[in-house]
Amino acid sequence: MLQPDGKIILYGYFEAYNSQPYKGIVRLNTDGSIDTSFNTGTGTDNEVLAAVLQDDGKVVIGGYFTQYNGIQQNRIARINPNGSLDTTFNTGTGADEEIRALGLQSDGKLLVGGFLNTFNGTAVPRIARLQPDGSLDATFNPGSGTQGIIYNFLMLEGDYSFATGSFPSYDGTAYSGIVRLSPDGSVDSSFDPGTGLSGSMQIGVTTALQADGKLLTGGLFTAYDNNSVGSIVRISNSMLGTPTDISQETNIVLYPLPVTDVLQIENNTPLPLQSVTVYDITGRKVFSKALGKTASSGIDLSTLTAGSYLCSITDGNRVWNKHFIKE
């Protein structure tokens, strides 16, 4: 997982990195060396399968572990930027089974998916949402959820999300391996994958959003909507139906292109813009800011690494998706 400063958080099932004792998680400098300022102590006692980076530099991890640095943390923990356990993130008894997917919403709430049947003693249908303090969010309503396994969340503008994994349905409706969720956990029925993912395994493992808004999905499957594919598929109808996507209109202008530090957003519409969100080529949200000007607004992107990005801008009703290059 890449941080905005170019450092890399590496997580998984390992007990050492470069012959140094790091269990489950380690942070690397830009040259690949160990960042010793990220002190994880004894680390995790088992696999770390998912992680998300918060805007404040804290990292939430999920997996099969039950301890972090010797402290009981059942399958989920939040780590401070220095590697220590964030004790303000109180998940109680945590998850009863492994967590395989995490998704961070714009309000700091956290989507959790995997094998879990309960969270802090409350029954959940393999998916739940947590408050920023780690408590279960009772306002999240996935209905009957899924009896299968969610392997991945891809967060979208407005806190919509794609959930992929190994499941035949979501809240009682047939969605094979892939579904788009509304911010409250219900199905966004405007995304129709047809028969979805299929094959002997029928597992969607990972997703990424291209700069043009098309969705790449990979995993253990051989067909998508009855079309033969080879474990990877690109889906063109992945953008949100609402707000209206009007990417090709020229009344929102970005400059300079390519951008070095500050990207200017020129608004030639009569309505004020509400927000701008920037995604990297993997679909990870790397920048978000509220806007409120009818004229040009500048956003400082100097901390982003060089590469290709998608900029999603909304006035609350319409969405402009613009591609740009960061030098």
Is residue 45 over pLDDT 90?
A: yes
**Cβ neighbours for 189, distance < 8 A, ≥ 6 positions apart:** none
- pLDDT in the model for residue 245: 52
Mean pLDDT of all residues belonging to the chain: 90
CA gap 130, 59 in Å, rounded: 15
> How large is the average pLDDT for residues 15-25?
96
Band of residue 14 on the pLDDT scale cut at 50, 70, 90: very high
Report the DSSP beta bridge partners of residue 28.
8, 34
Higher pLDDT, 323 or 93: 93
Dihedral sign of CA atoms 266, 270, 275, 278 in order: negative
> How large is the average pLDDT for residues 81-101?
97
Is residue 98 over pLDDT 50?
A: yes
> Which class is 8-235 in CATH?
mainly beta
Is residue 242 over pLDDT 50?
A: no
- pLDDT in the model for residue 251: 81
Domain locations in the chain as residue ranges: 8-235, 244-326
Is residue 145 over pLDDT 80?
A: yes
Higher pLDDT, 177 or 189: 177
Is residue 322 over pLDDT 90?
A: no
CA gap 97, 18 in Å, rounded: 31
CA gap 215, 195 in Å, rounded: 17
Q: Where is average pLDDT lowest: 46-60, 122-136, 284-298?
A: 284-298
The two three-digit tokens of residue 77, written as one number: 């923990």
Dihedral sign of CA atoms 209, 214, 217, 218 in order: negative
The predicted-structure confidence for 221-231, as pLDDT tens digits, reads as follows 999 999 999 89
CA gap 228, 221 in Å, rounded: 9
- pLDDT in the model for residue 243: 47
The predicted-structure confidence for 266-285, as pLDDT tens digits, reads as follows 888 877 888 888 887 766 77
The two three-digit tokens of residue 315, written as one number: 């006035």
Band of residue 109 on the pLDDT scale cut at 50, 70, 90: very high
Residues 110/102, Cβ–Cβ less than 8 Å: yes
For the ranges 129-138, 180-189, 194-203, the one whose mean pLDDT is highest: 129-138
CA gap 175, 147 in Å, rounded: 12
Is residue 9 over pLDDT 80?
A: yes
Q: Give the architecture-level CATH label for domain 244-326.
A: Sandwich (2.60)
Q: Which has the closest alpha carbon to 52: 184, 162, 152, 157?
A: 152
The domains spanning 8-235 and 244-326 adopt the same CATH topology: no
User: What is the C-alpha end-to-end distance of the chain, expressed in Å?
Assistant: 21
